[in-house]
Amino acid sequence: MKISQSIKNFCSKTLSEGMDVHTMFHIVRRIIPDYDIYKQTGFPESFAIPNRDAADAIVRIIIERNMFLQFIELLITLREEGLMSKKINLPYLNEMIREIYNQGYIYDPANRIFVENPRIRKTLNWGTLREGDSYTLVFLGIDIINNTGIVKKYPKNMVEQTYTEFSFIVQNICEKRNGRLWNWEGDGGVVAFFLGKKYQDAVLSSMEILNDMFLYNRTICSLKEHLNFRISIHSGNLEYTENRNKLIQEEPLKVLQEMEKKYSAKNTICISLPVKMMLDGFIADQFSEFKKPANSKYFHYKLQWEQ
């Protein structure tokens, strides 16, 4: 994000008018543990640094280290929770948040972070995941069953049209709930969820895909057979990287691949135990335990019609 001069000024004034130098130093060390304000400003340690000089120095260093949004996130948390059990005054913080919003970012209170406004842009990292940092995400894997047979049986243009329609359904549904398509290979891919109620968002997206594909197969599909697929959902912690090849080697995505191969069934959703434990009771109750093997700890859901 480009840091405008007005945002810099607001940040400096927030610090210099809202707290003393000791408090500023304590706060900035939460995100830069080795920060030395005397070394940066050039003032001797025996000298009392003026508030505005200290504030300007802190603003410079957090911008240089690409930590500005992270610092504002910290200030928002301190405004809500206080500092060492004391309420902290942060003038101009609302003005900064407004300026950040105007640059295409919104604050996500569930995760206490700024993320890109999906109405303006959509990137794989929501504009907030940082290289080398660890995050807990939910992954939805989906793939077409009998892809090779379909490709051999039908004309190329018919297959391409069908697969394009399939990917549009998946992407459109998942992006409505802030999912991001991390990987797509024609016959399927992986969608990541990170914001808000990410577990429910992933599962509700998968249920909507089941419903839409049920209608698609009976109304629009050009094939002389139903386009069958399977969905798997798993969550886990991974170290984020922009390197796609390295990213898919992370443990949660390996588990997702194993689920697709061993436990996922045709036109069915398979979720892991960590996902089920995070769901609201009503949604969790829609899933039945997978009995084979008995200790697999995976759960299935499929469309069922009342008799």
Q: Are residues 74 and 151 in the same domain?
A: no
β-strand pairing of 105-108 with 113-116: antiparallel
Q: Let me know if residue 266 belongs to a domain.
A: yes
| Residue at which a domain ends, from 103, 126, 152 | 103
Q: Are residues 92 and 140 in the same domain?
A: no
Q: Are residues 33 and 82 in the same domain?
A: yes
Average pLDDT across the chain, whole number: 92
What's the pLDDT score for residue 122?
A: 87
Q: Are residues 217 and 162 in the same domain?
A: yes
Residue range 125-163, pLDDT digits in tens: 999 998 999 999 999 999 999 999 999 999 999 999 999
Q: Let me know if residue 47 belongs to a domain.
A: yes
CA 174 to each of CA 40, 170, 171, 193, 208: distance values in angstroms, whole numbers, following the listed order: 46, 6, 5, 9, 9
Res 306 pLDDT > 60: no
Q: Are residues 274 and 211 in the same domain?
A: yes
Contacts 24+ apart (CB under 8 A), 93-100: 93/14, 95/10, 96/7, 96/10, 96/11, 96/14, 96/72, 97/72, 99/4, 99/6, 99/7, 99/10, 100/1, 100/7, 100/69, 100/72
Tokens representing residue 77 in the block: 């948390």
Q: Are residues 275 and 199 in the same domain?
A: yes
Q: Are residues 234 and 287 in the same domain?
A: yes
Write down the residue that tokens 């109750």 correspond to.
285
Q: Are residues 147 and 216 in the same domain?
A: yes
- Cβ atoms of 5 and 59 closer than 8 Å: no
Buried b or exposed e, range 96-129, using 16+ CB within 10 angstroms: bbebbeeebbbbbeebebbbbebeeeeeebbbbb
Q: Let me know if residue 263 belongs to a domain.
A: yes
What's the pLDDT score for residue 292?
A: 63
Q: Let me know if residue 179 belongs to a domain.
A: yes
What's the pLDDT score for residue 222?
A: 95
Q: Are residues 52 and 180 in the same domain?
A: no
Q: Are residues 74 and 178 in the same domain?
A: no
What pTM, to 2 d.p., does this model score?
0.84
Q: Let me know if residue 127 belongs to a domain.
A: no
What's the pLDDT score for residue 119?
A: 86
Number of H helices, E strands in the chain: 13, 9
Q: What is the mean pLDDT of residues 24-52?
A: 89
3-state secondary structure at position 153: helix
Q: Let me know if residue 191 belongs to a domain.
A: yes
| Residue at which a domain ends, from 103, 122, 155 | 103
Rounded CA-CA distance 162/289 in Å is 32
CATH, residue 269: 3.30.70.1230
Nearest to 26 by CA among 14, 35, 17: 35
Nearest to 99 by CA among 34, 168, 5, 239: 5
Number of domains the chain is built from: 2
Q: Are residues 175 and 277 in the same domain?
A: yes
- Comparing 207 with 262, the larger pLDDT belongs to 207
What kind and span of H or E run contains 277?
helix 273-277
Residue range 209-240, pLDDT digits in tens: 999 999 999 999 999 999 999 999 999 999 99
Residue range 53-105, pLDDT digits in tens: 999 999 999 999 999 999 999 999 999 998 887 888 899 999 999 999 999 99
**Is the previous residue joined to 293 through a cis bond, with omega within 30 degrees of 0?**
yes
Res 288 pLDDT > 50: yes
Which string of DSSP letters, residue by residue, matches 165-208?
A: HHHHHHHHHHHHTT-EEEEE-SSEEEEEE-SSSHHHHHHHHHHH
- For residue 288, report the phi and psi dihedrals to the nearest 5 degrees: -110, 145
What's the pLDDT score for residue 40?
A: 85
Residue range 234-287, pLDDT digits in tens: 999 999 998 888 888 899 999 999 999 889 999 999 999 999 999 999 999 999
Q: Let me know if residue 109 belongs to a domain.
A: no
Q: Let me know if residue 128 belongs to a domain.
A: no
Q: Are residues 93 and 154 in the same domain?
A: no
CA 34 to each of CA 28, 111, 171, 259: distance values in angstroms, whole numbers, following the listed order: 10, 26, 43, 43
Res 307 pLDDT > 50: no
Query: Percentage of the chain with pLDDT > 70?
Result: 97
Res 47 pLDDT > 90: no
The residue range of the domain holding 289 is 134-301
